[in-house]
Every structure is written in structure tokens, then in C-alpha cells.
Structure 1
Amino acid sequence: MAETKILVVAIDFGSSGAGYAFSFAYQYKNNPLDISTSVWNNGNGPLQAKIPAVLLFDPDKKFHSFGFKAEDKYEELLNTNKADQWYFLKGFKMQLYSAVNAGEDIRVDFELLDVGGKRISAKAVFSAAIGFLKDHFIQQMHWRKLGTVEDDIFWVVSVPSIWNDSAKQFMRESAEKVGIQGDKFIMVYEPEAASIYARLLSVDKFVGNNGAVILKAFDPGRKFIVVDAGGGTVDISAQQVLENGELKIIHRECGGPWGGECINKQFVNMLKELFGKEVMKQFKNKHGDDFLQLQRDFEVKKKMYRVEDEESLTIRMPLSLIELFLDIKQSDVQTAIASSRFDETVRLKRDKLSIAGSLVETFFSETIRNIIDEVVFIFKNERCSDVSAIMMAGGFSEADTLQHTIKKQFQSLEIFIPLDGSLSVLKGAVIYGHNPNVVSSRVCNYTYGVGVAMKFDPSIHDPGKKIYRRGIEMCNNLFNVLFEIDEEVHIGQTKSIDVVSYFLSDDKYGPLEWRFMISTKKDPFYTTDESCMKHGSIIVSPPNEMWPEFVEGQIFLKIAGTELIGTFVNRKTMKETSVRFEFLPSINKNPERKRLFDPFFLDI
């Protein structure tokens, strides 16, 4: 039985927006879907449940504002030529993913790039984002007189399922920096949160007419795939509904950096090719407010564009860009189009740029192909061969082009999308916070184990790894497997091994370290194998400041939701030392560092 939380608040921020949602224990008990969301007013238009996930820091790198206020202030700075000294951040969540994949060491901190290429602490940015949403909710809680205190709140932050533990640990530490304590905080994978929410919806809350089939997708025993398409990443999760309504993850989490921002990148690359690199560079630097508005306009247009209509996509071109092109190139845009490879696919009439459907589809093609290939890969797994439906969630899932292609590619499957797909992750995260056991099992992404030394056997052990302990020949750096890659594991499941450590007189005073390891292979032999990486360590201090000649104990590894907990128990004193793993680097051991993600996608 899950522990009752008085109030659960979920935070979600990504390229498509940021916000929070919440519900009390009594609401969850009576109706799990009785969830309130944040409400924002940009001063021009209807109220919104999410705001732009952008931050502004002043010249001293102190947090200034978030969301609409950050955008408005930055446009003001651009118009008064004062923006160069400030730090405007967007796409920062994707930068964390890119940094980990590039092999950046993020254990303590690393640097993000703002839109102008200036560097700023990543931890300062992430903690400011979490802190802003946290403080905004608490202010609303006091203003509404909700009758609770801050200590009653249990916090949930949604994260992409393709993040490894280093990224998740970074998020945890960023939350702790703004006062969210570890025992009041958990993370949930975004595609899991989406399905947790969607399985409770009534038929009329889905896009499509075949409600009976949609409901059957969540019948006990049925299997389905969730494609959570956000702005930065696409997370894909294969799941099965159990008899008790809980969810079982039946395949390792998949996905990649194929979110909606990839489409924006293709659009900007077209403009760069059409107008020229120097023109776009000056446009970005001198008319940043117009550049931001152009991106916003395209974000709306790309979701509305319909493949079946075979119509052009028309978008307003800022007059400042057209005039800048004329000043620099001494030619009009129409002439440039006529002499380019876009002469048959792009037209400019006054300030309206019309892009032919055939060209628009190329913006989507590579990104959608990656998504399709990943789903096909999952179907090849024997556990997933009888999947009967695909659920789409996330902001990018609202794009008609993506929906159309998924439906065309998987015609034998039911494709369904919650009407409030962009909020399904946020609301599902609240439900997960009330009952984390709703996801009863997952599949291991790696083989997990402990580095140990055992009695040397010349028939199987490498002589180069031979060491001596109290005169006994031992083999060092052996990988003792606890959980295997692709193994199905249950929440709360624990495995253990017995261990013994011997101490010489000169090392009785130092700490004892046990190393947890991961591998991409099912049966690694040595911790030094190419497939292996250090996952984390338990550091144990000596009792009474000195170790005895030898210490017997047990090491436990527990599946704790989206994290792992390692524990060492001293068999004599029964003292426990536990750790949530602080670092899981990318398996890619290529020492070459990739260039960090440029939020404006301009290689200038």
C-alpha cells in the first residue's frame, strides 16, 4: 500500500513549456483525475496551463525572471541594445541531454550556452527553473488559503526516460539546492506518466472516434507503446496492463533527440541557405525580438500544417529581415529565391513567405524516420510482438504531420492521442506521486553488479589481476552480477551478496569503498572490460575510527522506482550505509567532446 501524501505537486519543464499540477490525498482517493494545473496569463490572450521554459539572468548571473516575463524583459533589452550582458536561456533541458551524450562530466556542474553563446552554470539554471515553479505554487497555495504547509508537499519532477542516472542525479541535486529534500521528492519517466494518466480517461477525452478500441487498449493483459514526443526528445516506452490495473514496462526505454525542435532547426537552416549566413547572423543579433517571434510563429504553423491537404505553409516574414537582406545583398528576396534551389518551392509576396508542402515534408522526414525506426525496433522484441496500440503524448505529438505518418506506417494498430496530450505527462506525474507502485516493474537498461575480489583460479582468471590478501592469492576486479540487462525487475526488488574485507595495519584508518558497476553486456567478467563503467560507490567509515583485521558484511541493491539504492550492512555492528547513485556516465568512451547544443540552431 502506497504511503499517503497530503499534497502532491508535479513539475514539468521542456522545450514545449513549463508548469505544475497538484492534487490532495482526498482528491486522489475520490477521483484520481481531479487534478489542478498552474494558470498563467501572458497579458495578451487566453489563460494557459504552461509558460515558455525560458529564463533570464542579469549581468551578474543572478536569476531575474522565467517564462513570459523573461521573454518580455529580453525583448525590451534587445530593443534598447542592452541584451549582450544578460543571459537568456532556452532549450536548456536538451543541453543537459547533449552534454551527457558528449561525455561531459556533470557530477558537480557544467556550463550551458545562452542564446548569445555566453556560458553560465547549468546547476544555477536548473535550480532556478525548479525554484521558480516551486515558489510560484507556494505563493498560490498561501493566496488561495489551501490549508496546508510546505512540509506537507511531496514533489514529483518528470524526466525523459532516455536520461541516464547522471542526468537524473543532476536534476535531484538541482531540486535540493532550492529546498526540496530527498525524502520529499521523486522523479517519474515522462512516457510512463502519460500512460498512467491516459488509462483513467473516458473515451470522449481522446482524439478519434473508435472509443471501444481505445478502452480495450487498457484492458488487463493488453500491451501498448507510448510515444512521448516533446520539444527536445522523443521517449518511447512499451507497457502492459496487469490484472490489478498496474503497469508493467516490457522493454528497455528507447528514444532520442528527435523532438519538435528538430523541425525548427530545418526551417532555420532553410532561411540561412536562402538569406545567407551573414544576414541571419545580423538578423539574430540586431533584431532578436523579431527572430524570437518568427520562431514562435513557425512553432504554431508546423503543428497546424496538414499533410493530406497538400497545401503550402505560409508564415509572415519580419520586415526587418527583408530590409536587412536588401541592405547587405543589394538585391531583393524574390531575386534570391529565383536563383536558389528553392525557386519552385518558396514564394514571397509582400511579407508572406509561402513554403510548398513538398519542402515542408522534408523538414519532418529525418526526425519522423528516426521515430518510426525506433518503434519498429521495439516490435522486433518478442515481448512486444503482440502490441495492439500506440498512444501519442507530448507537445510535438500535436503536429498533424507526425500523427499522419504514424497512422500510415502502423495501420494495423489503434493510434490514440489524449485531447490534452501536452498535459498528460504533468497530470500523470501527480498520480504517480500519490502511488509510485502503479508502475510495478521495469526492464533493466544495463547489467548491474559489484566489483569484488575472489580466490584466484589459474584456470579462469587473468594473472595480471592477481593480488595478495593475507598471503592468499586473489583475483581483483571481478564483476559480481546482481541484475542482468533486459531482466524484468519489480519495484522494491532487492538482491544481495556477501562480502569480506581484510585490512593491513597501515590501511585500518581509511574509508572502505564498494564500487557498483554497469555493463552493456549480459555476463561481464571483469569490471575493467570495455563494456563496463563505474555506476557509483558506497563509502563506509571505520567504526571507532579504526577497522578490525577483517569485516564481514552484505551489499544490497534495491530497485527504487526510477533510481537504484545501494546499501552496505556491517554484519557485526549491523550499521547500514546507503547511497543513491551519484554518477552514471555515458557508455560512449570516445574522449572527443562534442560542441554543446546551440539553442538557436545557427552555426555562426
Structure 2
Amino acid sequence: MRSEFVPLVNASFDFGTHASGYGWCEHNVDDEPTLRKIRTFDQWPKQPVPSVKTLTALLLDRDGEVIAWGHSAHQMWVEHRADRRDKGWRYFHGFKMSLARDDAEPGRYRSMALDDREDDPEELITKFLGCLFRHVLADLQASGYEETDTRWCITVPAIWNEHQKAIMRRCAQRAGFPHEDGRLILAYEPEAAAQHARVTNVMVTDADGQSREVFNVPGRRFIVCDCGGGTVDLTSYQIEPDRSMIEMGSVSGEARGAKYVNKAIEEQVLVPRLGGLALYAKLQEHCPEGIEDLLAAWERAKLNIGVDHNRPVYLPITMALAKKIPPRVKRALAAGQDGVDDAIVITPAEVATAFESVVERICALVSEQLRSLTADAELDHGPTVVLLVGGFAASPYLRQRLIDHVGGEAVVLVPPDPQVAVLAGAVHFACRPATRARRSRRTYGISMCMDFEEGVDLESKRDKDTADGTDRCTDRFAVLVTKGDLVPNGSEVWIDGQPVHGDQTAIRVRFSAARGAVPRYVDDPECEYLGRVKVDRSPVMHLHLNDRGIRVYMKFGETEVKSRVVLQATGEEREHSFDLLTS
């Protein structure tokens, strides 16, 4: 058994749709979390104002080589229009949201992308993570630490499935992160935010004006609503007597981040005001800085918009952009905006529509979590708390809308630094995860050969050519864990398997998940193939058939599903592959 890796440093990456950043601290096994000194970086090249995050953006040449990344990529893209045309430069931003795969079209990706149009985002993610990794490594080395001293942690949305998490791990490893187990870990974004809130001891004020602890009180339940640039993730927790956390209810979330409000403004206001999709695309090509200025003006205005907003928002049209707008479009613009043709005028109703296209669904998701969480809650532990974090949590509109929506059902808390909560919490997670148990996201199982049941099993599944002469049914779905089961962190479930045929030199086991009810077979329509466990049995072929059985162990209580395989006869752990990238 390999010894556990003990780092000198824990470094975390908050890989976001809009922006990304990192933090790190020295590792001390017996440290007090409140005394950890987390170091961040807020002096990114070309950034407009100091921030712990830089843009999740890349500027590539025609050969796919990185010219610039972060804020530098955006600035060079805007300022070097000729190089785009002459040198084939390409700019990418928002590519994290391209990671939602469309099962109906293998190898393709759903149009959740925000600004890029790439079918496969893996190369972009790998390149960006590589740039960020090298930057952090230089920071660590300047403080006397090396890559081999470090445990690395990357945050992922809680709604990411096993395949998407496996892609993130593969991208990170290709970018330079370590391959060894325990040296690179993934953390759910809401869970990281919860850790940050607990360490900083965020308080809630009762109706009588008294401040009370929330996140370290045994029995207390709370919801983390992580609203970032691309996704909204919701996870519920309860504090245990030992002050650890367990998940309550099911994880929920959608592609409903702040960038989708911007997208709504662009699609519902800017595109029609500027002559339609075809002309808008031409303006983006021939006057990108003008379009960028409009979007930047909206981004600034958005920060001060609340639910009671009742004034138009004016986005000035630069002189350069005005020269590119055809006269007919200018006339139509003025006619529709009470004579104003030097700005895009967004009415209060249009502002509300854009926000509600995202916020209404966020409120509904919070209500769903509240219903499941408060069904059997203890009243003496105080009101349920909704912890609102992420970059979008800074929006006055979202804050007030959510407060109004939950009414007296819950208390909405926003920490002083909502955009840093996930980043800092991921460092605490890497130091010492506080979650003792998690809910299984789905019903998971593996393929097994079982006794054939006459009149029940399909004849096409009958296997007569078995070593013991017994008819077996192939492809049966053997349940490992059921959706909603509370699985302790570090615990394993296991299932035994014997070779059916005497000449089997390898065992390939399908790993699957049920979409609804538990299926009978792993290839049923309601069963989703996730990957496979493969075990080479050639080293044990000299043993008696009954001694070649294996026991497959699976862990479901951590961020990623993990496996190990042992030989039943000796308890010896066998080398195997667990591939979640083949679905």
C-alpha cells in the first residue's frame, strides 16, 4: 500500500467561466484553520483594477500556440485588429461552459459555450490551465517551494458529471499537474465556499438584532448557492456534533451564471438595435473595440442595478463604431429610442427581462432545495441559511430578488468577499476536507454475469458456455450505491466477481448509472454508460479457477469516484485501469 502524500504547500485553482485565480498556504497537519495565511495574487498583467482573478481567456495564433492569456489576451485582441486578419489570431473566452457533452451526438459538445464556438474545449482548457499552473509554480518557487512539495486542488461545478470531472483531470495532467493520486484533487465549488464560510465564521443577525453562529453549530442546516459566471450550483449541508459537514438532499444547478445575463442583453438588445445578426457580426469583425466598449459599459452598469431599477441604461456608441453603422440602421435606432442614436438605450423592462432570464430560475432552484431541506429540520437550530457566493453574488438585483423570494423561509447571507469564497475555501479543502459524508449523485452499478432467470431474462443475454456449465445472464446491472444514499468520506462499497470462462485473461466491467429506476441490464435505454474497469488476469491464470475471483472496491464519498481491485484468494491489490473518458 502506497504511503499517503504529505505536502508542504496546498495550492488551489478556482477555474471559472469568466475569470480564474489561485491561492496557497503552507501545510500543517495540526494547524488551526483560522490561522492559515492564504496567499493570493492580484497584480495580473493588463488588468483594469486589482483583483484576485484574471480573465479565463486565451489568444492563439493560427497554429494554436498561446500568444497571451488572461487580461493580456483580451487587450491584445482588441488592439491588434490587423494581426487577427493577417496572422490568423483567435480569441477564446467562456470555453469552460463548452464542457457539457451532448450524448446524442458523440464527440460533440452542447452549445453552452458563451463566447467561443469550439466543438471540443479540452485543448483550450489544457492550454489555459498550463499558463496558470506555470504562473503559480513561479510564485511558489520564489517562496522556496517546488512542484513536488505541493498538493494541487482544482474547483469544479457540483453539477459536473463523472465524465466532465475526468476531462478536467486529464486536461490538468496534460497541462503539467501531477498524475499521482492524492497530489491532484478536485473540489466542488459550493463545498469549497462552505469551508470558507466556516473558517471565517460568517454570522447571521436574528430579528432581535443578535448575531449568531451559523456554520459551526451542530444541527444547523444551510444551503450554498454558488452563482458564478457560467453556472449556479446548490448544495445543502448539516453540521454534525463533531462539527464536520454532511450533504443533505440532492445537488442541483444549471447553466445560469452572470454571463448569461450579458448574453441576453447582447441577443435581445444589442443585436436587434444594431441591424440584426449579420450586421452585428460584421461590426464585431470591423470594429471590435466598439462592441467591446458597449459590453464593458453594460458590465459596469450591471453592478449597480437592483430590483427597483426604473431608469434607462445608456451604453455610449463610440465614434469609431458609429462610422461603421449604416445610415438606415442609425435612423431605425433613433426612431426606436426617442431620437437617441449615439447610444444604445436599454429600457427598465429590457433590463428586468435580461436579469429574470437567469434569476427567476435561480430562485426556483433555491426553493427546491429549501423544500427538501426543511421537511424534517429541527426548529431549535434556527432558520435555514442560504449562503450566496460567487461573482454574481455581488449583484444587488440577485441579492434582493432572492431575499424577496424566500421571504421568511430562510435568511440570505452574502459574505464580504463572495467572489473569493470558492478560491479561499478550496485552499482549506486541500488542507483538510471538512465534509464527512456526501450524497450519491446517482444510482451507480457495474455489469455482472448472474444466474439466468427463465421467463424473466432475455434469451439474447443467455451465456451457456460457462466454466461450471451453469447458464448465466450477461450484462446485468449490479447496484453499488443508490441515488441519495449518504456515503461517508473514505468508505468503500464492494462487489465480488468470478471468471465465467476458464480462458479469461482479462475482465472488463462496465461502469454505469441509472437515469431513473434501477435497470435490469447495463445496456438498457435508462442506463448511461460511464466508463469501464479493466483488470489484467494473466498473472493469475496458473491458479485454480475458483481462486481467480476479484473484488472491486468503489469510493463514492469523495469528489471523484475511485476504484481499486484485489484478488479474493490472497487479498493482493491488482493493477487495473478505471477509464471514465470512454463514454
Q: Is the TM-score greater than 0.5?
A: yes
CA distance, structure 1, for counterparts of residue 406 and residue 112 of structure 2: 39
CA 1:152–1:384: 2 relative to 1, 3 Å? farther
Q: Distance in 1 between matches of 2:206 and 2:99?
A: 36
Residues in 2 aligned to 1:238 and 1:377: alpha-carbon distance in whole angstroms: 11
Matched, 1:466 2:446: no
Please tell me whether the aligned partners of residues 493 and 558 of structure 1 are also in contact (alpha carbons under 8 angstroms): yes
Contact map agreement 1:21 1:427 (CA 8 A) in 2: yes
Contact 2:565 2:574 in 1 (8 A): yes
Using the TM superposition, name which of 357-366 and 552-561 deviates more: 552-561
The CA distance in 2 between the partners of 1:464 and 1:259, in whole Å, is: 47
Q: Which moved more, 1:179-188 or 1:574-583?
A: 574-583
Superposed displacement of residue 543, structure 1 = 2.7
Q: Would you say the 8 A contact 1:485–1:520 is kept in 2?
A: no
The verdict on how the C-alpha distance between 1:209 and 1:20 changes in structure 2, with shifts beyond 3 A counting, is farther
Q: Could you say which residue in structure 2 is the equivalent of 1:576?
A: 574
1:405 equivalent in structure 2: 401
Q: Which residue number in structure 1 is paired with residue 9 of structure 2? A: 7
Q: CA deviation at 1:71?
A: 1.3
Query: Deviation string for 1:301-332 (max 9, x for gaps)?
Result: 21221223533323322333333224464736
Task: Give the corresponding residue for 2:380.
Answer: none
The whole-number CA distance in structure 1 between the counterparts of 2:11 and 2:507 is 39
8 Å contact from structure 1 (residues 57, 65) kept in 2: yes
Q: Report if aligned partners of 1:565, 1:581 keep a CA contact under 8 Å in 2.
A: no
For residue 197 of structure 1, report the CA deviation from its aligned partner.
0.2
* 1:439–1:210 CA distance, 2 compared to 1 (3 A): farther
Say if 1:547 and 1:84 are closer, same or farther in 2 by CA, change over 3 A. Answer: farther
Q: CA deviation digits over 1:270-317, x for unaligned, max 9?
A: 111122223312111111122223222222221221223533323322
Q: Is the 8 A contact 1:55 1:129 kept in 2?
A: yes
Q: Which residue of 2 aligns with 1:281?
A: 281
Among residues 500, 522, 530, which one is paired with 1:527 in the alignment?
522
Match of 1:53 in 2: 56
- Cα deviation, residue 429, structure 1: 0.3
**Paired residue for 1:320?**
320
CA distance in 2, matches of 1:583, 1:62: 25
In the superposition, relative to structure 1, how do residues 100 and 219 fare at CA in structure 2: closer, same or farther (>3 Å)?
Answer: farther
Aligned residues of 1:322 and 1:333 also touching (Cα < 8 A)? no
Greater alpha carbon shift after TM alignment, 223-232 vs 530-539: 530-539
Q: Distance in 2 between matches of 1:100 and 1:28?
A: 45
Corresponding residue for residue 364 of structure 2: 373
Corresponding position of 1:596 = none
How many Å separate the matches in 2 of 1:44 and 1:164?
33
CA distance in 2, matches of 1:462, 1:193: 47
Describe how 1:472-491 pairs up with structure 2 within 5 A.
Answer: 472-491=470-489
Whole-Å separation in 1 of the counterparts to 2:386 and 2:516: 30
Bigger CA drift: 378-387 or 247-256? 378-387
Aligned-residue offset at 1:542: 2.8
Q: Cα distance, 1:420 vs. partner?
A: 0.9
Q: Which amino acid aligns with 2:31?
A: K
TM-aligned CA deviation for residue 481 of structure 1: 0.9
2: CA distance between counterparts of 1:353 and 1:420? 32
Q: Secondary structure at the match of 2:331?
A: coil
Question: Quick one: which amino acid aligns to residue 147 of structure 2?
Answer: E
CA RMSD between the two structures:
3.0
In structure 2, list runs of 5 or more residues that go unmatched.
Answer: 378-382
Q: CA distance change for structure 1 residues 454 and 61 in 2, over 3 Å: closer, same or farther?
A: same
> Once the 2 structures are TM-superposed, how far is the Cα of residue 93 of structure 1 from its aligned partner?
0.4
Q: Structure 1 residues 493, 563: closer, same or farther in 2, change over 3 A? A: same
Residue 111 of structure 1, CA deviation:
12
Tell me if 1:453 matches 2:449.
yes
Query: Would you say the 8 A contact 2:201–2:215 is kept in 1?
Result: no
Task: Give 1:190 deviation, angstroms.
Answer: 0.4
Query: Which residue of 525, 531, 544 corresponds with 1:536?
Result: 531
CA distance in 2, matches of 1:355, 1:271: 9
**What residue number does 1:175 align with?**
172
- 1:228 alignment partner, SS class: strand
Q: Residue 422 of structure 1 aligns to a residue in which SS?
A: coil
SS in 1 for 2:15: strand
Aligned partner of residue 260 in structure 2, secondary structure: helix
Distance 1:213 1:326 in 2: 60
Task: Give the drift of 1:57.
Answer: 0.9
SS for the counterpart of 1:252 is strand
Is 1:421 the counterpart of 2:421 in the alignment? no
Residues 557-580 of structure 1, C-alpha deviation per residue, up to 9 Å, x if partnerless? 123511112222222452423445
Distance in 2, matches of 1:547 and 1:439, equals 44
Partner AA of 1:173 in structure 2: R
Letter in 1 for 2:300: V
1:95-494 paired onto structure 2 within 5 Å: 95-97=98-100, 99-100=101-102, 103-105=105-107, 117=117, 119=118, 122-143=121-142, 146-182=143-179, 183=181, 184-203=183-202, 212-213=210-211, 215-216=213-214, 218-269=216-267, 270-277=269-276, 278-327=278-327, 329=329, 331=331, 333-337=333-337, 348=340, 351-381=342-372, 386=377, 388-412=384-408, 413-436=410-433, 438-458=434-454, 460-468=456-464, 469-470=466-467, 471-494=469-492
Amino acid at match of 1:24: E
CA distance in 2, matches of 1:203, 1:80: 49
Judge conservation of contact 1:274–1:337 (CA < 8 Å) in 2: no
CA distance in 2 between counterparts of 1:478 and 1:448 reads 13
Instruction: Report the 3-state secondary structure (helix = DSSP H, G, I; strand = E; otherwise coil) of the residue aligned with 1:472.
Output: coil
Q: Name which of structure 1's ranges 356-365 and 329-338 shifts more when overlaid on structure 2.
A: 329-338
Q: How far apart, CA to CA, are the structure 1 residues paired with 2:206 and 2:577?
A: 47
Residue 557 of structure 1, aligned match among 517, 532, 554:
554
Q: Which residue of 2 aligns with 1:67?
A: 70
User: What is the rounded CA distance, in whole Å, between the counterparts of 1:419 and 1:208 in structure 2?
Assistant: 18
Structure 1 unaligned blocks of 5 or more: 339-346, 586-604
Write the distance in 1 (CA, Å) between the matches of 2:187 and 2:462: 43
SS at match of 2:534: strand
TM (norm. structure 1) is 0.86
Gap change, CA 1:159 and 1:114, over 3 Å in 2: closer
2: CA distance, partners of 1:214 / 1:41: 38
What is the CA distance between 1:167 and its match in structure 2?
A: 0.8
Q: How many angstroms does 1:158 deviate by?
A: 0.4
Q: Any idea what the Cα deviations from partners look like across 1:219-274, whole Å, max 9, x if unmatched?
A: 21111111100111111111111222221111221000111111111111211112
- Deviation of 1:548 after TM superposition, in Å, equals 5.7
Q: Which amino acid in structure 2 is aligned with residue 391 of structure 1? A: L
Q: 2:248 and 2:84 mapped to 1: Cα distance?
A: 54
Q: Which has the higher contact order (CA 8 A, sep 6+)?
A: 1
Which range is displaced more, 20-29 or 424-433? Answer: 20-29
